[in-house]
Structure 1
Amino acid sequence: MNKSPNTAPSRPEHQTEVLIIGAGAAGLLAARDLAAAGRQVLLLEARERVGGRVHTLTPPGFTQPIEAGAEFMHGAVPLTRALLAAAGIGWQDTAGRTYIVRDGQLQADADFFAQLPLLVEKLELLTEDLPLAEFLAREFPGAQHAQLRATATQFAEGYDAADTHRVSAWALRDEWAAGGADDSPRPVGGYGPLLHWLAAQAQAAGATLHLATVVQEIRWQPSSVEVLTETGAKYHAQQVLCTVPLGVWQLPADQPGYLRFMPDLPAHRAAAAQLGFGPVIKIVLEFREVFWHERLPELEFLLSEAPVPTWWSQLPNPCPQLTGWVAGPAAQRLQAASAETILQLALDSLAELLAVSPLVLQEQLCASHVRNWGAEPYAYGAYSYPTVGSRAARAALATPVAGTLFFAGEGLHEGPDAGTVEAALRSGQAAACTLLASRA
């Protein structure tokens, strides 16, 4: 990989045909396709690694790689599967049983969708879209429906990382009718190898990759773009494809990480503000042994109302790892919390759910890793969720400007794969096609 230096005393200037901002899934696939089509491509990534919100790593103390970011393959994801196959990477179905702890009582084989046929039925009859919270209050009022409202809210916040006062009831209807999280295999070895393969493919086709290159400003006029970085380096191109996450688009102008366009793009910023972008915290723990087997045989998922409410194992991989998950408003409330505070909250939650003492948990713990995506630079959130009116907003945000500025990313993809790696890949692929057609 070509890596630009953190300091640039001579403030070099770089010239290319196409600049791509962001080396996540969308940017890497677009870079590969554009370079393969003969375009001169330079890819700029703020981090010192590729992948964006995909980050497969092996932190100190862990015996095998973990996923700090995207982990599962939700739904059919045909493009993801095709690319994994081309890269020689397999995938493996999850396995085991789902447990739920409610009011301190442990229940096995909880099925969110089987519990709520009336909810899905009411959603099917909905003739106009509205936020989930408004739908629940209108269709399921009163104490007799309190548990249904709580369960639906918990699922939307936990699985979709959504604010129920913004998330689209229509979109959740489609997601839940399709089975939601039912089919969720994992790439063998994590998503990281796929992203590194895409980077290698792009470079083999002629693309250049600069890591640790933080873009601060994009100055543009038709067919001419100047990109300025925080080190003072300048990049010039005829066209730019911007693949930064929605979290970057939604930053206030006075906050670090804000990406400036000159002239500005008020319609695109307004569209980005209408879209949902949820925070997530992942806590990955590795223990000496699978000590929870007696209480929770074949544990796959554990759902609860604890401060860290959702946990899962790596089954069918028997390694003694558990991943904790906090999403949506609960993660937002912890955005400023330290990793140490979050880890302690996770351990306290897990000790209660597994009915073991915190001391036993500490004795079993070998390694931990906390990733707070809402506070993560260059991301400021985990993934998008559909709001009322999001279809029009996504289309507006993805609209090219003057055949010069193009846009991609998982938050711009319209379809059943919203908020996934598949969405990012499809968006990058589509943007590359649009960019190529603009100069055909």
Structure 2
Amino acid sequence: MQYIDNILFTLLLVFAVWFFSRNVKKLIRNIKLGKPINRFDRPADRWKTMARVALGQGKMGVRPIPAILHGFVYVGFLLINIEVMEILIDGIFGTHRIFGFLGGFYKGMIGFFEVLALLTLISCVIFLIRRNIVKVKRFLNPEMKGWPKNDANYILYMEVAFMVALLTMNGADTALQKLGADHYSQTGSFFISGWLTEPFLSGLSETTLVVIERICWWFHIVGILFFLNYLYYSKHLHIILAFPNTYFSKLLPKGEFTNLASVTNEVKLMMDPNADPFAVPAEGAEVAVPETFGAKDIFDLNAVQLLNAYTCTECGRCTSECPANITGKKLSPRKIMMDTRDRLEDVSKIIDEKGKWEDDGKMLVNDYISAEELWACTTCNACTQACPINIDPLSIIIDLRRYLVMEQSAAPQELNLMMSNIENNSAPWQFNQQDRLNWVE
């Protein structure tokens, strides 16, 4: 019977790892649909940024209470996984608390993990209250209705269930040790379960305790394997992607815009006296496809921008700081990232079904993100400053606006007037060049 459990557990583990690796490959493929970009410069600065922002949660402290609660969940997630390693070994080889030979150190380590588990449990309950009872404003935006709201709650419910199962498992384990049950190593009571769950279980029979301990053990590890594979479909993918996202984040000044290589090449062609823009390609020569000015779809964005979309935590800090959104405009930087990810996933489904990309007649701009949203942006960079993991919604907004202006001539009238004035008068205002210095008088 014991071997059947081990075989079943091993098969489940192999399937979970296979399914997770399958999703990771799909994730990498989808991100590579974007244009390549060199973000391997200044490696020392990039490692520092990742250590400070992702590992050290350096930007969370702007809002102290959520930062403390998130810190408990974050540290708990990282360290409690050490106990999960023990559970995995026990599940494969049929052992029980294989690291128990460490004696007092092991007991202290599990006790510390239990403290983190309790703090994680309390934090998740508070987060649920904030979202569903207090109803913090930034969680009530239109883009958060339906799946985004449910997804956030599902994760918190899972975290609560995992921590309860862990503490109950340890309490039942301790009670079985006191009864001298076979296969249960003598480690003694643990710090939290010793007073929280063990007292409620100590009066039960050995058989009942074994059933409770096994149910909690299986629930805890199967739940974690399910959670691992749920990540791809959830905003909580940032648990993994926050690290590469911060490493590849923009190190240039936030207000510095990049030049479009496609525009630069066109200008060079116009300035080259030896270039013939009307030259007919030689027979058999490959005809270059003209580059798009700006971005109309996810294929025109770069890989880091697509990584940003997958990494978005949907926390809404960007939207809550956006002056356009605060004043009632349609723009929500969070929605920009969510829409980009939705488009990326829709493209991914077509590739999965057809084996290759086939145009579905849709674009990111207009079909997913409206021009009204894009032109509401003031380019103030409040969203990029507020993001706790260095996501850059502004770069996507700028690239989409460039497409509207340079490919579709769809700029607002006020902007068209300004650009005409600059072209004709060398100034944004509508008066003759001779009158430009009249203000001095």
Pick the TM interval, shorter chain: under 0.3
Greater percentage in strand: 1
Greater percentage in helix: 2
With CA pairs under 8 Å and 6+ residues apart, which has the higher RCO, 1 or 2? 1
* TM-score normalized with structure 2 length: 0.25
